[in-house]
Amino acid sequence: MATENRYQETAENQENREETPFHGDLLDKIVSHIPTIHLVPSFYVSKSWQRAVFSCLGNPSRAKPWLIINVQSRRNLSSTTTHAYDPSSNVWIEITGPSTMTYTSPLRSSRSDTLYMLSPLKFSFSSDPLHDIWLDVVGPRVWRTDPIVAIVGSCIVVAGGTCDFEDDPLTVEVYDTACLGWFTCQPIPNIPKDSAASTWLSVAVSDHKMYLLEKNSGTFWSFDPSTKTWSGTSGSLDLGPDPAIYFSVIGFTGGRLILVGLIGDAENVEKIWEVNCDSFNCEEIGKMPWEMLDMLKNENSTLLSIDISVAENFIYIYNSSELRDIFFGDLSVGVCKWGSVQCTFLNDRVLMDRFVFTCSRVSLDNLRKAFWVGSKKFSVELAETVFIH
């Protein structure tokens, strides 16, 4: 028995020595240089590597949200590819979606973290960061071609975007997941019927409300799904910190409502404001460098097609009509720090393809589900390769 115990202790000590050739600060330093996507196999190398991976992910520099771009063919909906940008590692990653995924209608995005598909019979949506999980509910009662969609708590809000033959293009319906049914609400107030579509409206969502902004006029609304009503007696106000703003979009990030506006005409300026959701006063928190704004322009499109995706304290800005460069601002350090990245993966895509954007913070568990590594041996080899190179 004593011999067996000594043998077991010797084997365990030998295993621990083989398992952890690097320790402490040295191992933490090694892991800090590993791209986020490779932290999944690194996690399975040993217990010491697991601790180092968790320590690495706890660093604020690794908490930057990813931008997810779905590129879908207009002729063949099944021809859809997904690419993710990890700003912490400055790399693009191709994501292979669920094998059971079928595209029954054009893919669309709502706010900054939700993908959805809408047909007369079914509403399908996904809100997890890498969109592995999809849920289906019965379609709304009114058929719509270009609606505003938002998921607020347990409610799905579908507004506007109806066809010409419908009685009211401003119709609003709410699906309550607790009651499992659609309810008709007050229509969108004080807006031309032709403007009640996602093409002309920008949407942002807090924990309890949906906010709408007409991109050109700056007319602003808020909708409370719990009371199924629009805010104020008139239901709208003008959200314009500068009278020279001619185009603006909104997003909810880091617990703050963010307004991005274009100012001027020939010589444009783009600024970012934080909006107080009680008083609706606006405080400037950033200004895009002129050279970046100039890169948003191109010969085939205008600045009126810019859009944003936001999460945490990070904001991505892009020209959705002709995707080339993406610009991002980090609002977590008090002042807005700017950067940019090229969409190198679009070289072989057709210009007429549709681009659908979401933005979310991605956890280790999200990566594990999307990029499962089934072999521990492969995990060790990959981690060693990352260290060597």
- Tokens representing 267 are 């010589």
Long-range pairs for 23-28 at CB < 8 Å and ≥24 separation?
23/48, 27/52, 28/52, 28/55, 28/56
Stretch 286-293: mean pLDDT: 90
What is the average per-residue pLDDT within 16-34? 69
| Mean pLDDT along residues 151-180 | 83
Half-sphere exposure of 143 (CA within 13 A, CB side): 7
Tell me the H-state helices in the chain: 2-19, 24-32, 39-43, 47-57, 290-296, 364-370, 376-388
Q: Tell me the β-bridge partners of 205.
A: 210
| Among 53, 25, 26, CA closest to 39 | 53
Model confidence at 199, pLDDT cuts 50, 70, 90, reads: confident
Bridge partners, 317 (sequence order): 308, 327
CB-CB contact of 95 with 37 (8 Å): no
What is the rounded distance in angstroms from the CA atom of residue 381 to the CA atom of residue 362? 24
Side-chain-side CA neighbours of 305 within 13 Å: the count stands at 13
- Strand 122-126 to strand 172-176: parallel, antiparallel, or no bridges (unpaired)? unpaired
Which candidate, 157, 140, 139, places its Cα nearest to that of 148? 157
- 389 pLDDT more than 60: no
Q: What is the pLDDT of residue 382?
A: 40
Quick one: pLDDT band at residue 87, thresholds 50, 70, 90? very high
Has residue 117 got a pLDDT over 70?
yes
Query: What residue has token string 């180092």?
Result: 52
- The token pair at 345 is 């993966």
Residue given tokens 């009114």 in the structure block: 142
First to last CA, the chain: 46
* pLDDT given at position 108: 93
Alpha-carbon gap, residue 343 to 327, rounded angstroms: 11
DSSP state of 4: H
> Among 54-58, 91-95, 97-101, 240-244, which is the least confidently predicted range?
97-101
Say yes or no to pLDDT of 376 above 50.
no
Which SS3 state, helix, strand or coil, does residue 127 take? coil
CB 176 within 8 A of CB 158: no
How many angstroms separate the CA atoms of 375 and 186, rounded? 55
Contact 55, 1 (CB under 8 A): no
Kindly report the average pLDDT of the chain as a whole number.
81
Question: Whose CA is closest to 354, among 118, 115, 147, 72?
Answer: 72
Say how many C-beta atoms besides its own lie within 10 A of residue 258's C-beta: 24
Query: In the structure encoding, which two tokens stand for residue 9, read together?
Result: 């202790």
pLDDT bucket at 381, cuts 50 / 70 / 90: very low
Q: What pLDDT sits at residue 172?
A: 93
- Mean pLDDT over 270-284 rounds to 89
Weakest mean pLDDT among 96-105, 131-140, 173-182, 366-375: 366-375
Kindly report the backbone phi and psi dihedral angles of residue 217, in degrees, each rounded to the nearest multiple of 5, phi listed first: -90, -20
**10 — phi, psi (to 5°)?**
-65, -40
Break the chain into its structural domains and give their ranges: 2-57+371-388
Q: Which of 43-47, 73-77, 96-100, 239-243 has the highest mean pLDDT?
A: 73-77
Six token digits for residue 60:
């604020």
Specify the amino acid at residue 55: S
Cβ partners under 8 Å of residue 260, min gap 6: 248, 249, 250, 251, 270, 271, 272, 306, 308, 315, 317
Q: Between 90 and 12, where is the model more confident? A: 90
Euclidean distance between CA atoms 244 and 241, whole angstroms: 9
Q: What is the pLDDT of residue 268?
A: 76
The type of residue at 194 is: D
Flag whether pLDDT at 95 surpasses 70.
yes
Average pLDDT over residues 164-184: 82
For the full predicted model, state whether its pTM sits above 0.95: no
Q: How many CB atoms lie within 10 A of CB 207?
A: 8
